[in-house]
Chains A and B, each alone.
Chain A
Amino acid sequence: MTLGQKIEEKIFKVLMIIATYFILAVLAVIIYSIFEKGVKALSWEILTQIPKGGYYYGKGGGILNAILGSLCLAFGATLLAFLIGLPVALYINVFLIRWKKVVAFIRFLLDLIWGIPSIVYGAFGFTMMIYLGLQTSLLAGIITVTLFILPIMIRSMDEILRTVPYGLMEASYSLGSNKSETAFKIFTRQTISGIITAILLSFGRAIGDAASVLFTAGYTDHLPNSLLEPVATLPLSIFFQLSSPVPAVQDRAYASALVLTMIILIVSLFSRGLGKRYHKTKINF
């Protein structure tokens, strides 16, 4: 190595180290500030009660409405998106295998709508509600969030289904399986850990988004009790509490953020566990 190459190597190494640790530091600060402010405001009351009158001005109560509302909404939307998304991903990878240009076009479209900001989905959902005669409700929220996470769900399942080796597909067909048997019995089994990851990734997006539920799910201080009633969600709850002039309420916003972070953390750990468990049934290479 010449001296020039050595210096070049050094510079790039330092740059990479700086970039990596800088981003890690930023993440650490965010998580630290959530914990620092959130933990002291976190209490049993906050987790188990709904807001009492004047909650947003410092009176008692909790955010159970938002916790349950977010969970209902995210579970509903993830389930719906999975039921729509899996067939789409399988269709692209098994049935359309001879039409590579069509597949490329579908992938391009999905990548495009992946990038649309969630507020646009919110606005679209609102228009759709007016058209369908729906009010702000859990149902409207679920439908809108489903549309919002569908591209993520489909594309991440699609990417994992693409890794199924041609040899396995040929093996399946050579046994006489037809296309749907190959899709549902071979492809999904082979990629089950990746499919679980796709589901949980989508769940994370669904539970964390505020803009798409702003006009569609609405907000309420009550617990979710019907598909046709508005529900509270954690991101909006954080927003409302942060907008309060009372410092104690702002701290509660951090506690809510902490709860949301924890939910996502638990879901991720859960998904890793599941992924590991199913990984063993895959072909190793």
Chain B
Amino acid sequence: MTDNKKIQISDLNVFAGKFQILKNINIELPENKITVILGPSGCGKTTLLKCMNRLTDLYPELKVTGDIRISGNNILAAREDIYKLRQNMGLLSQRPYPLPMTIYNNIAYGLKLRGVKKRREIHKLVVHYLQQANLWEEVRTRLREPASRLSIGQQQRLCLARGLAVSPGIILADEPTSALDPISSQYIEQKFLELKNDYTIVLVTHVLRQARRIADYVVFMYLGEVIEQGDVHEVFENPKMEKTKLYLGGTFN
């Protein structure tokens, strides 16, 4: 493949006190593809994701060293404007956290942060992003209701729309379908496949079938280390490492 490398991570180490959560991570994630980070629970997948938009800053116990380059800029450098940086990345977490405001304002909030000021423009974009997330038809008559009244699947799509509204280049998704019913999950997966034309998507999951369905590139992690990475077909059909084989075969202990 002749992909551009959107995210390049080199020698990334994360410590929580004496415990090392991530060990010497070196990966390169291709632009406009879906990269799936795969691995058993507790292997550091989520931490790796949080390093990418520096949410790790919120946790004083975490110490991050190394390099994460996004389109060439080292985002771990202290002088980076982290608020701008985070706007360049939409985050979808394990369970949806709608902002404590109306459905409409959940989307408008990000737009205002992005600097959209005209009310008509905001309205147009709110509709646009709700449509993008397949939510518009369901909420068009209840835009002024609090977002918490939506079902959990709808909330997750609202969070996706909210994330897209800040017009990021990258979508970070941390097991976004783990709390959802099969139909809502399918919506999200389908959406990711459509979105990858315009976005670089990093998806954390431990669901093998999901990875196989939508991944272009796979990173397999175990106990804080990257065991194997490569094209989805390569990794799934012809894994090189013993641990990957065991995990994919479902006989991991």
Partner of A176, one of B60, B87, B149, B159: B87
- Shortest C-beta distance, A277 to chain B (Å), equals 11
The answer to whether A190 touches B100 (Cβ under 8 A) is yes
Q: Which residue of B lies closest to A190 (CB)?
A: B100
Name the one of B53, B60, B95, B99 contacting A172, with C-beta atoms under 8 angstroms. Answer: B99
Q: Are B58 and A167 in contact (CB under 8 A)?
A: no
The contact size tier of chain B is 20 to 34
Chain B residues with Cβ below 8 Å from A280 are 146, 148-149
Contact B87 A168 (CB under 8 A): no
Bound Cα distance from A165 to B58, whole angstroms: 13
Given A175-B110, A177-B113, A181-B113: A168 touches B97 (CB 8 Å cut-off): yes
B114 & A176 in contact (Cβ 8 Å cutoff): yes
Query: Measured between alpha carbons, how far is A168 from B159 in the docked complex, in Å?
Result: 11
Q: Is B191 interfacial (CB-CB < 8 Å)?
A: no
A283 near B91: Cβ-Cβ < 8 Å: no
**Contact partners of B57 in chain A: CB under 8 A:** 98
Cβ of A97: which chain B residues have Cβ within 8 Å of it?
58, 60
Q: Which residue of A lies closest to B59 (CB)?
A: A98
- Contact for B83 among A165, A166, A178, CB less than 8 A: A178
Q: Decide yes or no whether A170 CB sits under 8 A from chain B.
A: yes
| Category for how many chain A residues contact B | 20 to 34
Within the complex, the shortest CB–CB distance from B90 to chain A, in Å, comes to 7
Which residues of chain B are near A189, meaning CB under 8 Å? 99-101
User: Could you tell me which residues of chain B, from 139 to 170, have a CB within 8 Å of some CB in chain A?
Assistant: 146, 148-149, 159, 162-163, 166
Question: In the assembly, what is the distance between CA of A97 and CA of B58, in Å?
Answer: 7
With a cutoff of 8 Å between Cβ atoms, the chain A residues found around residue B95 in the complex are: 167
Distance of A284 from chain B, by nearest CB (Å)? 6
CB atoms of A170 and B60 under 8 A apart = no
Interface residues of A in 54-77 (CB under 8 A from B): none
- In the bound complex, do residue A174 and residue B163 qualify as a contact, i.e. CB atoms below 8 Å apart? yes
Q: List residues 62-90 of chain B with CB under 8 A from any CB of chain A.
A: 83-84, 86-87, 89-90
Cross-chain pairs A/B with CB under 8 angstroms, 13 sampled? A98-B57, A165-B97, A167-B97, A170-B58, A171-B159, A174-B86, A175-B87, A175-B113, A177-B83, A186-B100, A281-B100, A281-B101, A283-B97
- Using CB atoms and an 8 Å cutoff, list the residues of chain A in contact with chain B: 97-100, 165-178, 181, 185-186, 189-190, 192, 280-284
